[in-house]
Copies of this chain bind each other. A is one copy, B any other.
Amino acid sequence: MSFNTFGKLFRFTTWGESHGPAIGCIVDGCPPNISLNEQDIQIELNKRKPGQSKFTTQRKEDDSVQILSGVFENKTTGTPISLIIYNKDMRSRDYETIKNKFRPGHADFTYFKKYGIRDYRGGGRQSARETAARVAAGAIAKKTLENKIGKKYKVIGAITQLGILGCDTNNWNDKFISKNSFFCPDKSIVKLWEKYLLGIRKSGSSCGAIIEVRARGVPVGLGAPIYSKLDMDLASAMMSINAVKGVNIGSGMKSAFLTGEQNSDEISQKDKTIKFMSNNAGGILGGISSGQEIIVSFAVKPTSSILNSRKTIDKFGKNTSISVKGRHDPCVGIRAVPIGEAMMHCVLLDHYLINKAQCGK
């Protein structure tokens, strides 16, 4: 049982509210003797942090991380790694007006009904601010897997659909992804996206997105059927990210439309190297990695906080309406890219360790 913990052998537990003094996490189960310092984590956090472009919220947070335990002389010791990030730019007054109203599309209503109490400031625990903690955990998983598997191990995420505009994944370019504000992998579409999202932002509206995360260099054999399947844990990981409503492995929902001939990825070998002729499976067969690229995509719904007025009720049960004026991302999906990468790292390390335990390799 774990409400705020993710993982089995490599586990992280997050804590903190949007407008509390700090947020953080404990990473437990990290192998010893992995090189680690705060900068390793900061690099990943910086990808996610707000206020970096006009396409994300204007809340200013350094997201400066401190390691409080578990690392000695820049090496992990096998004991729990405690990380803390102090909150800085909290303008709680922004939220006073929505103290008693339930914002549609947010978890205000359900938290209140469940717990009978909620920290409404900035969404409290339901805020996407929590995701900084998991990006930090992901950075540790990444360092560990690079140590164990080597540099061929690489995870990279991108936006492949921005609202109504897709991109051509045949143009996927790893290097380009980090050079634009959208984590867009396709150079040819980025200008159009920019124009589109500026329009969305100006109108006080928002849009959804699809994020695709790819993992390369993953050994064959990760995943533990039946109820710790790799795809199951990846679906769970991605669905735990705020605002995610759908998850695909490989061809995902589209596989429903295929025939057996189209879908089954044929196998062949040449000079003892096994090759799959396609990757509809997204690198996972029967819940176990096949050695192919792991491909997961997920949909993030449009930001629920919009300027345009929406009907709702207040906590006293009265009809009212709301227009959310705070600082918000026109497309929260963008900042979900490093979060998706982090969750991928964590799930893969978890299964790497599980496989080590059960199958000794």
Using a CB-CB cutoff of 8 Å, which residues 1-25 of chain A contact chain B?
1-6, 8-9, 11, 13-17, 20-24
Q: B4 touching A258 by the CB < 8 A rule?
A: no
**A353–B360 CA distance with the chains assembled, in angstroms:** 9
Q: Knowing A3-B227, A114-B220, A119-B72 touch, does A252 contact B126 (C-beta < 8 A)?
A: no
Q: Which of A42-50, A175-183, A259-267 contacts B (4 or more CB under 8 A)?
A: A259-267
Residues of B with C-beta under 8 A to A29: 1, 3, 358
Chain A interface size, as a band, is 35 or more
Does any Cβ of B come within 8 Å of A277's Cβ?
yes
Residues of B with C-beta under 8 A to A334: none
Specify the chain B residue showing the minimal Cβ separation from A306.
B260
Q: Which of A51-59, A102-110, A149-157, A187-195 contacts B (4 or more CB under 8 A)?
A: A102-110
**A308–B260 CA distance with the chains assembled, in angstroms:** 9
**A97–B360 CA distance with the chains assembled, in angstroms:** 30
- The winner among A13, A226, A277 for most chain B CB atoms within 10 A is A226
Residues of B with C-beta under 8 A to A116: 32-33, 359
Does any Cβ of B come within 8 Å of A169's Cβ?
no
- The winner among A114, A206, A210, A249 for most chain B CB atoms within 10 A is A114
Q: B105 touching A260 by the CB < 8 A rule?
A: yes
Q: A125 touching B225 by the CB < 8 A rule?
A: yes
Q: Which of B5, B161, B285 contacts A5 (CB 8 A)?
A: B5
Q: A267 touching B313 by the CB < 8 A rule?
A: yes
Q: Knowing A3-B228, A29-B3, A313-B268 touch, does A248 contact B251 (C-beta < 8 A)?
A: no
Does any Cβ of B come within 8 Å of A303's Cβ?
yes
Q: B259 touching A200 by the CB < 8 A rule?
A: yes
Specify the chain B residue showing the minimal Cβ separation from A358.
B31
Residues of B with C-beta under 8 A to A117: 32-33, 72, 75, 77-78
A348 to chain B: closest CB distance in Å? 14
**A31–B117 CA distance with the chains assembled, in angstroms:** 11
Does any Cβ of B come within 8 Å of A356's Cβ?
yes
Q: Can you list 21 A-B pairs, Cβ within 8 angstroms, ordered by A?
A: A1-B9, A6-B227, A9-B357, A16-B69, A20-B68, A21-B69, A23-B69, A32-B359, A102-B267, A107-B225, A125-B226, A205-B261, A207-B259, A245-B281, A246-B255, A247-B247, A251-B301, A252-B299, A263-B304, A264-B306, A268-B313
